[in-house]
């Protein structure tokens, strides 16, 4: 008997959906895309209005043959791929590959944000046609990415090494990391001092600390001389409470997770990489085995930049909060929209499919990593439907001669959402109870003054989480691209990850330099963000996708042509050195590997000898008579060390200079266009001599 065929993307969903739909439905999976552009050529007919030349993906022939047999048996076909542009495109490719448009079958597109019985039944009740605007938005992205990759990558292969790649989004991400590294390298620390008074009150034997403020306005202490002047003025001063202000502070409840914020929080709280977070979230979305319930999906769709929540889910969460914590904990004002202009697709935020399925109830059924991610999502969602936390704040001013010191503290008066979801470093009571007992006119006894020297710190290195945040803020990429972008530039060895931080490798610097010099617009953040907005306009039907592509291609073609001419005489590899191969006597040459330069015998493959390339910079080691050479960590991060290592342990992240500090004689390092003394007590800096 003919029935209905439902085609989903992932085999992991098949069992769950089949259970919900019953015997009248056959459910099968396409395993993602079935057609794509060919790998051997660009696959875009530039002369014929940029028409893509799609082919069946290698290895998918057998699967397509099975799908065709399944289609023949059914009278209704439901294309149930993921609810985003990519999913819409997969449904369209399935329709083309299975020739559904030419058949007499009834073909429908259905989509659901969560794999629950209600959601799937509702989707079946309200089928629709394919949304060609979403399909075209995906086609435009695919075609633009292919144009960039296949036009520029061969230049990288020819001039650096094979296997490298350029990409529309990945090259911008690499540039952002390189720019941050340059800011860090050029940063000159500035000296400043802080002063605190350790004081005793009659209310407690425990001392409290007051921070130096200044006089009528805040005063910055820049050096030891200024500090000494203040300390001299404070000798014999009385520390008297001159002003007390009490108030309230509100800590707002968080909004539910988007893809970006989930990746950031999972990195911060669970130490998960973006790739790991998405892999685990995919499992929670597709369905996991839960004792007593079988295979069920635990969260809604994981690729979204919306914070909207369905009315039923919102009501269920409020009811849960009311029953579990009390009516005073239920939020009166719920943020359901985001101010982000780039929000795409009518998705919900990431939330549990059933708020009543608490983390405690599924803990025994889930592996630890899956459980921790589910718990994070569940807690964030519940907290988003709860009231703000409220604090009582106290700020105290102390007069000490002509100067003012301040103390402040806060005490929580209503924990609100924090009864469910708190930051690891959040303290429910963040002040000593002593502050609250002080009165105007009270005199405190000085135990000691704590004067401390500090230096300003450079910008922080990007982490995966902070890079995702920066990409989102700049409007570069979309929820589905953050994790793959970072994974790609790590896999290409353009960057390395050490203790969460991302560092550029020598290879990454070379590739970025080529991209900035020859393809400036491709790696321009503003240009890329504007292009993303144009692609979004294709998705909502206001711009034709081929118009975007046809406007983009001529500039790319021109840039590639110009770069090819200029790079003809550039040779980045195979520079002959004076190092002799001990195996065959040839002069070894410089090659480029995954982590940058190394020495190789030109007699390859007969002679396969290789060794590290220790590049001298013409500077003597500050600790011994050795030479300073460029080295790399095991992962490929560049630093400067001594040629006499391991006997000499000298190392520096910044390039040492041959010029000694004229003030104290210590060695100096290059910081952008400055030379900086590495003796912290000295702090001398001067302009770097211009190279002749």
The set of catalytic residues is 301
- 88: part of which helix (H) or strand (E)? helix 85-97
Six-digit token string for 647: 């006997």
Six-digit token string for 173: 């991400």
Six-digit token string for 453: 């020297």
C-alpha distances (whole Å) from 74 to each of 101, 252, 381, 504 are 15, 53, 40, 54
Do 224 and 232 meet the contact criterion of CB atoms below 8 Å apart? no
Query: Chain-centre distance of CA 86, in angstroms?
Result: 21
Six-digit token string for 567: 């790079």
Do 599 and 588 meet the contact criterion of CB atoms below 8 Å apart? yes
Question: What is the spatial distance between Cα 439 and Cα 577, in angstroms, rounded to a whole number?
Answer: 77
Q: Please, which residues have CB within 8 angstroms of residue 105's CB and are 6 or more apart in sequence?
A: 71, 74, 75, 76, 77
Q: Helix, strand, or coil here: 13?
A: helix
Residues 388, 394, 399: CA angle, nearest 5 degrees: 155
**Which DSSP symbol is given to 416?**
G
Do 496 and 461 meet the contact criterion of CB atoms below 8 Å apart? no
Q: Is residue 452 classed exposed, middle or buried when 0-12, 13-18 and 19+ CB atoms within 10 A define those classes? A: exposed
Please report the sign of the dihedral spanned by the C-alpha atoms of residue 659, residue 664, residue 669, residue 670. negative
**Which DSSP symbol is given to 435?**
G
Long-range contacts of residues 126-131, Cβ cutoff 8 Å, at least 24 apart: 127/78, 130/79, 130/88, 130/91, 130/92, 130/95, 131/88
Question: What is the spatial distance between Cα 572 and Cα 159, in angstroms, rounded to a whole number?
Answer: 6
DSSP per residue, 28-47:
EE--S-SEE--SSS--EETT
Q: Please, which residues have CB within 8 angstroms of residue 3's CB and are 6 or more apart in sequence?
A: 24, 25, 26, 73, 74, 75, 76
For residue 592, report the phi and psi dihedrals to the nearest 5 degrees.
-115, 125
C-alpha distances (whole Å) from 456 to each of 29, 134, 453, 490, 670 are 56, 48, 10, 30, 17
Largest interatomic CA distance in the chain: 99
Question: What is the spatial distance between Cα 495 and Cα 502, in angstroms, rounded to a whole number?
Answer: 6
Which residue, 598, 561, 532, is CA-closest to 151? Answer: 561
Please report the sign of the dihedral spanned by the C-alpha atoms of residue 485, residue 487, residue 490, residue 495. positive
DSSP per residue, 112-171:
-SS-SHHHHHHHHHS-B---HHHHHHHHHHHHHHHHHHHHHHHHHHHHT-TT----TTHH
Question: What is the spatial distance between Cα 647 and Cα 404, in angstroms, rounded to a whole number?
Answer: 53
Do 80 and 112 meet the contact criterion of CB atoms below 8 Å apart? yes
Between β-strands 667-671 and 656-660, what pairing exists: parallel, antiparallel or unpaired? antiparallel
Please report the sign of the dihedral spanned by the C-alpha atoms of residue 255, residue 257, residue 263, residue 265. positive
Do 402 and 233 meet the contact criterion of CB atoms below 8 Å apart? yes
């Amino acid at each position: 008997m003919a029935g209905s065929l439902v085609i989903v993307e992932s085999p992991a969903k098949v069992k769950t959906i089949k259970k919900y739909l019953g015997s009248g439905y056959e459910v099968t999976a396409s395993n993602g895309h079935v057609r794509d552009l060919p790998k051997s050529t660009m696959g875009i007919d530039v002369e014929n209005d940029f028409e893509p030349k799609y082919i069946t993906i290698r290895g998918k022939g057998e699967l397509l043959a099975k799908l065709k047999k399944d289609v023949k048996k059914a009278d209704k076909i439901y294309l149930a791929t993921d609810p985003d542009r990519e999913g819409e495109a997969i449904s369209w490719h399935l329709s083309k590959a299975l020739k559904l448009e030419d058949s007499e079958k009834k073909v429908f597109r259905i989509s659901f944000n969560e794999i629950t019985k209600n959601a799937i039944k509702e989707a079946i009740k309200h089928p629709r046609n394919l949304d060609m605007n979403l399909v075209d938005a995906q086609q435009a992205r695919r075609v633009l990415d292919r144009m960039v990759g296949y036009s520029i990558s061969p230049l990288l292969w020819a001039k650096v090494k094979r296997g490298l790649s350029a990409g529309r989004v990945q090259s911008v991400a690499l540039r952002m990391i390189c720019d941050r590294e340059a800011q860090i390298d050029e940063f000159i620390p500035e000296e400043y001092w802080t002063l605190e008074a350790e004081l005793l009150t009659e209310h407690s034997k425990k001392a409290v600390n007051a921070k130096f403020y200044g006089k009528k306005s805040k005063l910055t202490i820049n050096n030891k001389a200024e500090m000494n002047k203040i300390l001299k003025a404070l000798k014999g001063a009385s520390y008297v409470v001159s002003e007390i202000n009490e108030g309230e502070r509100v800590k707002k409840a968080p909004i539910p997770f988007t893809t970006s914020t989930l990746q950031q929080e999972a990195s911060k709280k669970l130490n998960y990489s973006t790739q790991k977070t998405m892999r685990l979230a995919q499992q929670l979305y597709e369905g996991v085995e839960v004792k007593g319930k079988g295979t069920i999906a635990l969260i809604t769709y994981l690729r979204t930049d919306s914070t909207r929540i369905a009315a039923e889910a919102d009501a269920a969460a409020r009811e849960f909060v009311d029953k579990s914590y009390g009516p005073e904990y239920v939020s009166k004002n719920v943020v359901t929209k985001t101010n982000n202009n780039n929000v795409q697709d009518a998705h919900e935020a990431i939330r549990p499919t059933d708020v009543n399925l608490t983390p405690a109830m599924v803990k025994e059924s889930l592996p630890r990593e899956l459980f921790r991610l589910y718990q994070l999502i569940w807690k964030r969602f519940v907290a988003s439907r709860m009231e703000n936390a409220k604090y009582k704040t106290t700020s105290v001013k102390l007069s000490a001669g002509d100067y003012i010191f301040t103390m402040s503290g806060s005490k929580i008066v209503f924990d609100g959402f924090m009864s469910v979801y708190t930051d690891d470093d959040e303290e429910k009571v963040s002040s000593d109870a002593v502050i609250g007992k002080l009165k105007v006119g009270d005199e405190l006894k000085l135990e000691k003054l704590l004067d401390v020297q500090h230096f300003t710190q450079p910008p922080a290195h990007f982490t995966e989480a902070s890079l995702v945040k920066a990409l989102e803020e700049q409007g570069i990429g979309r929820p589905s691209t953050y994790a793959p972008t970072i994974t790609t530039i790590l896999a290409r060895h353009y960057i390395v990850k050490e203790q969460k931080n991302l560092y550029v490798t020598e290879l990454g610097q070379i590739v970025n330099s080529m991209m900035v010099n020859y393809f400036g617009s491709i790696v321009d953040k503003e240009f890329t963000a504007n292009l993303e907005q144009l692609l979004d306009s294709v998705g909502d039907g206001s711009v034709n996708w081929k118009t975007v592509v046809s406007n983009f291609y001529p500039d790319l073609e021109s840039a590639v042509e110009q770069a090819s001419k200029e790079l003809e005489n550039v040779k980045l590899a195979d520079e002959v050195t004076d190092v002799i191969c001990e195996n065959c006597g040839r002069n070894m040459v410089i090659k480029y590997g995954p982590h940058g330069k190394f020495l190789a015998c030109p007699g390859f493959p007969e002679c396969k000898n290789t060794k590290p390339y220790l590049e001298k910079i013409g500077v003597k080691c500050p600790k011994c008579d050795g030479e300073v050479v460029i080295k790399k960590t095991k992962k490929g991060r560049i630093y400067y060390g001594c040629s006499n290592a391991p006997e000499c342990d000298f190392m520096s992240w910044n390039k040492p200079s041959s010029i000694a500090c004229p003030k104290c004689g210590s060695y100096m390092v290059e910081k952008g266009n400055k030379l900086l003394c590495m003796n912290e007590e000295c702090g001398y800096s001067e302009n770097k001599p211009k190279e002749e």
